[in-house]
Amino acid sequence: MASNRIGRINEEIQRELSDLLRALKDPRVHKTMLSITRVETTPDLRYAKVYVSMLDKEATKETLAGLKSSAGYLRRELGKNLQLRYTPELQWQADDSITHGAHILDILSKLDIPEDSDDETADNT
């Protein structure tokens, strides 16, 4: 039951942070398009690891620095919008899972795997 609650809290934090990121005025954050892919909160709700995917990979360090510098503001606004006993401390992580998935799809598309024809599938059934 507790993991279900943490899952709901993670989704709420992700939704609220996505809305709050639009209001940030830090130019380092707005240099590239970014999205929050997931949030992992510790069971005691003290820390939340926020995974961020960025379109421009060259601006990753600069964007993460901008997010870390605005973490206090985002945490305060998150505390106002969510009714939690503790507002978690935000820890920002670059997420390259989308790039990794695209790389795997590229590798799979280069493999020479013969496709099954309709005649073979009809014979096997």
Q: Strands across the sheet with 47-54, in order?
A: 34-41, 47-54, 89-94
Query: What CATH number is given to the structural domain containing 68?
Result: 3.30.300.20
Q: What is the mean pLDDT of the chain?
A: 86
Residue whose token pair is 């964007």:
63
Q: Indicate whether 92 pLDDT > 80.
A: yes
Tens digit of pLDDT for each residue in 25-79?
888 888 888 889 999 999 998 999 999 988 888 888 999 999 999 999 999 999 9
Tell me which DSSP letter residue 58 carries. Answer: G
38 falls within a domain: yes
122 falls within a domain: no
106 falls within a domain: yes
63 falls within a domain: yes
DSSP alpha helices (H): ranges in 1-125? 2-23, 60-69, 71-81, 97-110, 118-124
